[in-house]
Chain A
Amino acid sequence: MEHRLEVPGRFDRLEQISKFIEQAGLEAGLDDTTICRCQLAVDEACTNIIEHAYEGEGRGDIEIACEAEPGELTITIEDQGKPFDPDSVPAPNLNTSLEDMQVGGLGLYFMRQVMDAVEFSYQDGSNKLVLVKRRDGAGS
Chain B
Amino acid sequence: MEIATQEYKHVAVLSVSGRVDSSTAPELESQLKQLVDGGQNHLVLDLKDVEYMSSAGLRAMVSTLKSVKRVNGDLRLANPSARVEEVLRLAGLTSIFSIHPTQEEAVASF
Contact = CB atoms under 8 A, between A and B. Distances in A.
Interface residues of B, number: 22
A19 B38 CA distance: 38
Interface string B42-65: 000000000010111011001001
A98 B21 CA distance: 22
Contacts of A113: 90
Interface of A: 11-12, 14-15, 18, 33, 36, 39-40, 43-44, 47, 50-51, 92, 94-95, 98-99, 101, 103-104, 106-107, 109-110, 113-114
Interface stretch (B2-10, B91-99, B100-108): B91-99
B66 A11 contact: no
Interface of B: 19, 21-23, 52, 54-56, 58-59, 62, 65-66, 69, 83, 86-87, 90-93, 96
B53 to A, nearest CB: 9
A94 B52 contact: no
